[in-house]
Amino acid sequence: MKALFPLVFLLYLFSNAQNPNDCSNAILLCGDTNIGIDPSGVGMDEFSLPGNPVPSCYNFRADQAWFRVEIEMTGDFTFEIIPDVALADYDFAIFGPTTDCSNLGPAIRCSSTNPTNAGVSGNTGLNDTETDVNEGPGPNGNGFLASIPANTGEVYYILVGLAVGNGGFSMSTGGTAQLPPVPSANAIPDIETCDNLGPQDGFREFDFSSLDADILQGQNNTTVSYHESLNDANIGINPISFPFINTINPQTIFARVERSDSNCTDFTDFTVVVDDTNTLDIADPIIICSTNSSEVYDLANVIDQWVPNPSDVNITYHLSSSDAENDLNPQSSVFTATTTLTSYFIKVIDPTGLECEYVIEVPLRVANPPAAANPPDLENCDDDFDAEVGFDLREQDMVILNGLDASLHQIAYYASPTDRTNESAALSNPYVNVQNPQQIYARVTESSTQCFTDVSFQIRVLPKPALQDQEDIIVCVDAEVPTLIGVEAGFEFYQWSTGEMGDSFNEISIDQPGDYSVTVTNTFGCESSLTITALASDIAVLDDIIIQDFRNGDNTAEFIVSGPGEYEFAVDDGFYQASNFFSGLYKGFHTVRIRDKNGCGVLISEFVVLDYQQFFTPNGDGFHDTWTFDGITAFPEAVIFIYDRNGKLLHQMAPEGPGWNGTYLGNPLPSSTYWFSLEIPNKPLIKGYFALKR
């Protein structure tokens, strides 16, 4: 004989009159009962009775459970207690043979070994190898005692107490002794039933006695009782009487099967579910979008939205929920919807009875499409001459809404009527046109009804004025004749940065350098802007002339000028040159012409190159009769002294005079070399010599 009691069926112990922590309510161990125990409480103190001496190994005043063992056939009886939590300290004591809980007598087996202190596992019980009948308390023993040689008809009581630790335990019996056979509580399916009688509130009457045959399946000497709790079923109290009305929905019912010849039991459970879907299901409102105030609508056309396989069930239509629930006043499926939301009711009945009947409330009304307005076309000026530009489509929202509340409506824009119909590929914002012009399709949808109105408009890219880029120009500063600047004629309006504006101001006159901007507007109202840069130029300013003279015909002059222009130079009647340096100049007066290359004028100035004659011949022939100093008249304050070779002063010559005739005190001087010195204020002293030839 062997019985295994795993934690398949957990016994919860409650505080009531009958409880397995009392000996009188001991759980009968039968052949194949599936049971698990979680001891709770100590119950009554059986050891306070005179016939029940306290076990020698322990007091057992802890969470405990009692078991009853009835021997059907002689043999050795063993068992093993297996704690759910490792090293939980379960102690036990065995009494008997006896049938009286008030006269148990001394324990014939008693174990209170602490597994932690003893260094053994938490498993404990009886086996065929041990010989001791008592062990503990504390570390003494290994948790197992000798088996009991039991005879047919004997009854034993086992007390199990949790001394240290927590958790429940399972128990397996063994040995050659046989225990009473257990009945079998066969599993049955859950009960799902419709709540079609009386108020549809999820509660109805049941009679579970019809389930007895399925639970017993032909077993003899057995009875079935039904209980609302596992505790009641396990102890066998508070059986359900019929008719029974479920107290919760769903509700678990526990069936107890008990043998009449041994009190051995088995248990099963099932759930009853009362389908109360006859309470109203409310469908989403059906909104009929129409410009009319009423529309005829056939609910039969959309019944498959709520009823799978509607042809398999009976469907009726009603004006009120009470009519539908009570099958009164059936109507046609066709109803007249108005602008007032009105509910109609659909009753669904499965003729087979497999499915529960139910009622669907369908709200129905007519909603007028939004009173949207067609907006004007949207035009933007081109920005880069490619006929493509970004459009802010939302600029049209307020016009399209036409006074409608923007928070209650949605507007979407599409590139094609198909996209708008499918409500797909809505345009992002800003939107760049793909052709010019391009039609845009908009839909205004009322959020609450999803009714919509479609409108459309064009987006158009307008050309901007095309202005030719201009290079920088030159303007003569303070010129008598101003410079004319301008852009293409023929546009609608011109506005210059100078403040000048008008439809004919494509040109203006300027006399100062700078940046001059003009904004041009065409007939479409589109603008383009251009900036013309006027660079300054002017007649030159002669700052200095650097002359290297007294070089006997190879004199030079360099002209230092300033001014904003670019200049070229010419001396006397020569050609203009870019260089300001001239060589090979003879003594005397010269004219320099400095011309602005941009045409802003010519500066003319005289200059003198000083030099002297190398010889003279005062013979009266009219050629070189006097010695002169060419160009000296340009320096009226100059003084010229003439000396003989011995340094004797012979003559002082004024710049305006006719020159020296080669005499001293009226007497002609002989041919010879004579010296001179030239003194000009703020200039270096010049000395030289020349020859007199007769």
Cβ 135 vs Cβ 120: under 8 Å: no
Mean pLDDT of 516-523: 95
From 590, 609, 628, the end of a domain falls on 609
Q: What is the DSSP string of 300-362?
A: GGGGGGTSSSGGGSEEEEESSHHHHHTT-S-B-SEEEEESS-EEEEEEEE-TTSSS--EEEEE
141 and 32 inside one domain: yes
Q: Tokens standing for 135?
A: 């062990």
Residue 12 confidence (pLDDT) above 60: no
Cβ 117 vs Cβ 141: under 8 Å: no
Mean pLDDT of 3-32: 58
Phi, psi of 525 (to 5 degrees): 85, 10
Q: How many CB atoms lie within 10 A of CB 680?
A: 17
Domain membership of residue 373 (yes or no) is no
pLDDT of residue 157: 97
133 and 13 inside one domain: yes
246 and 167 inside one domain: no
303 and 435 inside one domain: no
Q: Is 30 exposed, middle or buried (0-12, 13-18, 19+ CB in 10 A)?
A: buried
Q: What angle do CA 425, 427, 433 make, to 5 degrees?
A: 120
Q: How many domains does the chain have?
A: 7
- Rounded distance, CA 379 to CA 384, Å? 15
Residue 280 confidence (pLDDT) above 80: no
* pLDDT (tens digit per residue) in 46-102: 888 999 999 988 777 788 999 999 999 999 999 999 998 988 899 999 999 998 999
Confidence band of 558 (pLDDT split at 50, 70, 90): very high
Element (DSSP H or E) covering residue 431: strand 431-432
The pLDDT > 70 percentage for the chain reads 95
From 175, 203, 231, the end of a domain falls on 175
Domain membership of residue 428 (yes or no) is yes
Please, which residues have CB within 8 angstroms of residue 407's CB and are 6 or more apart in sequence? none
Please, which residues have CB within 8 angstroms of residue 562's CB and are 6 or more apart in sequence? 540, 541, 543
Domain membership of residue 186 (yes or no) is no
* pLDDT (tens digit per residue) in 580-621: 999 999 888 899 999 999 888 999 999 988 888 888 999 888
Confidence band of 420 (pLDDT split at 50, 70, 90): very high
Cβ 396 vs Cβ 442: under 8 Å: yes
* pLDDT (tens digit per residue) in 621-667: 888 899 988 788 888 899 999 999 899 999 998 888 888 999 999 89
Domain membership of residue 156 (yes or no) is yes
* Domain assignment of residue 254, given as a range: 191-273
Q: How many CB atoms lie within 10 A of CB 617?
A: 17
pLDDT of residue 17: 34
pLDDT of residue 151: 96
Check whether the bond before 437 is cis (ω within 30° of 0): yes
Rounded to 5, what percent of the chain is helix, strand, coil? 10, 45, 50
106 and 170 inside one domain: yes
Q: Could you tell me which residue, 501 or 172, shows the higher pLDDT?
A: 501
Q: What angle do CA 300, 303, 309 make, to 5 degrees?
A: 115
Only one residue has tokens 């009473």, namely 180
Please, which residues have CB within 8 angstroms of residue 221's CB and are 6 or more apart in sequence? 259, 260, 261
Cβ 175 vs Cβ 76: under 8 Å: yes
User: Which residues, listed in sequence order, are joined to residue 82 by a DSSP beta bridge?
Assistant: 170
pLDDT of residue 2: 37
pLDDT of residue 623: 86
- What is the pTM assigned to this prediction? 0.49
Cβ 148 vs Cβ 156: under 8 Å: yes
Least confident range of 14-23, 231-240, 646-655 = 14-23
- Rounded distance, CA 553 to CA 236, Å? 153
- Rounded distance, CA 653 to CA 609, Å? 19
599 and 655 inside one domain: no
Strands 686-692 and 672-679: antiparallel
Using only C-alpha atoms, the chain has a radius of gyration, in whole angstroms, of 65
Confidence band of 383 (pLDDT split at 50, 70, 90): confident
Domain membership of residue 181 (yes or no) is no
Domain membership of residue 19 (yes or no) is yes
**CA torsion, points 119, 120, 126, 127, in degrees to nearest 10?**
-110
Residue 5 confidence (pLDDT) above 50: no
Confidence band of 16 (pLDDT split at 50, 70, 90): very low
* pLDDT (tens digit per residue) in 98-139: 989 999 999 999 999 999 999 999 999 999 999 999 998 889
Confidence band of 21 (pLDDT split at 50, 70, 90): confident
395-419 CB burial, b ≥16 within 10 A, e <16: ebbeebbeebeeeebebbbbbeeeb
Least confident range of 345-359, 441-455, 522-536, 573-587 = 345-359
pLDDT of residue 15: 31
DSSP-assigned letter for residue 683: S
pLDDT of residue 605: 93
- Rounded distance, CA 666 to CA 662, Å? 9
263 and 350 inside one domain: no
Domain membership of residue 185 (yes or no) is no
Sign of CA dihedral 60, 66, 67, 70: positive
19 and 124 inside one domain: yes
DSSP-assigned letter for residue 262: T
Mean pLDDT of 567-573: 95
Please, which residues have CB within 8 angstroms of residue 576's CB and are 6 or more apart in sequence? 568, 569, 570, 593, 595
356 and 387 inside one domain: no
From 550, 578, 609, the end of a domain falls on 609
What 3-state class would DSSP assign to 253? strand
Confidence band of 32 (pLDDT split at 50, 70, 90): low
pLDDT of residue 595: 94
Q: Could you tell me which residue, 201 or 691, shows the higher pLDDT?
A: 691
* pLDDT (tens digit per residue) in 530-556: 999 999 898 999 999 999 988 877 899
Domain membership of residue 519 (yes or no) is yes
**CATH code, domain carrying 43:** 2.60.120.380
pLDDT of residue 33: 56
319 and 263 inside one domain: no
24 and 98 inside one domain: yes
- Average model confidence (pLDDT) across the chain: 89
- Rounded distance, CA 249 to CA 85, Å? 35
